[in-house]
């Protein structure tokens, strides 16, 4: 498991300006706009999707999905400060009719109505969530990870620029 300082160095550059400890195991480091774009395109998000971001920070991924595609979405974060910021950001973006944010531990959260789940958490946390993701999401749902994969699972799609990565898996038919 990478340390918080290790995460910062792995993420690098301008993102270091935006970092805050969290009551959860992963600090808040926001996804940058370019990667959000890659994540939405990789999952082929449309207005018919329901996009969840588990560990949503200030809600930027779910809000971007709503603004760019009209998709509905939900963000879950353990830090109430982030959820307050997400609600404010959704108002500013004019997407409160499409998105909702909840202060909750992702391990207690319900997300079975998602058709796309976004994750920017450590690999070990993604791995702990994986059994629920692959059993509770409908077949065909996409799981997109920013930077850290799901344990050692081989991704179906991968984007790489330098040390920056985005990976995707599709929930198979049962
Ligand atoms: C690296 S940030 C990613 C933020 C956002 N997903 C993005 O891409 O901009 C990780 C976020 O996960 C939250 N978090 C950490 N552990 C959590 C948990 N167990 N349940 C819910 N949120 C958690 C943190 O508060 C932080 O906001």
Residue 33, domain extent: 4-170
> What spacing in Å lies between the alpha carbon of 10 and ligand 1's midpoint?
16
Task: Report whether pLDDT(77) > 90.
Answer: yes
What long-range pairs does 89-92 form, CB within 8 A, spacing at least 24? 89/58, 89/59, 89/60, 89/63, 90/59, 90/63, 90/66
What are the tens digits of pLDDT across the range 160-172? 999 999 999 999 9
**Do 34 and 162 touch, CB atoms closer than 8 A?**
no
Residue scoring higher pLDDT (41 or 3): 41
Q: String of b and e for 5-32 (b: at least 16 CB within 10 Å)?
A: eebeeebeeebeeeeeebebebebbbbb
The whole-number pLDDT of residue 14 equals 47
Question: Residues enclosing ligand 1, CB less than 6 A?
Answer: 22, 24-26, 28-31, 53, 55-57, 60-61, 76-79, 82, 105-107, 120, 146
What are the tens digits of pLDDT across the range 110-162? 999 999 999 999 999 999 999 999 999 999 999 999 999 998 999 999 999 99
The whole-number pLDDT of residue 19 equals 83
Quick one: CA dihedral 154, 159, 164, 166, positive or negative? negative
Q: What is the CATH number of the domain that holds 103?
A: 3.40.50.150
Domain count, the chain: 1
> What spacing in Å lies between the alpha carbon of 48 and ligand 1's midpoint?
25
């Amino acid at each position: 498991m990478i340390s918080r300082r290790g995460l910062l160095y792995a993420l690098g550059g301008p993102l270091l300006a935006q970092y805050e400890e969290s009551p959860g195991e992963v600090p808040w480091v926001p996804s940058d706009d370019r990667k959000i774009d890659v994540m939405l395109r990789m999952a082929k998000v449309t207005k018919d999707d329901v996009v969840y971001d588990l560990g949503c920070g200030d809600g930027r991924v779910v809000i971007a999905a709503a603004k760019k595609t009209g998709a509905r979405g939900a963000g879950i974060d353990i830090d109430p400060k982030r959820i307050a910021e997400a609600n404010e950001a959704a108002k500013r973006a004019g997407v409160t009719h499409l998105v909702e944010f909840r202060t909750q531990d992702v391990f207690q959260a319900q997300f079975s109505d998602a058709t796309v789940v976004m994750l920017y958490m450590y690999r070990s946390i993604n791995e702990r969530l994986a059994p629920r993701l692959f059993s509770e999401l409908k077949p065909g749902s996409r799981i997109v990870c920013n930077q850290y994969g799901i344990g050692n699972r081989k991704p179906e799609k991968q984007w790489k620029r330098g040390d920056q990565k985005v990976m995707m898996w599709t929930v198979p038919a049962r």
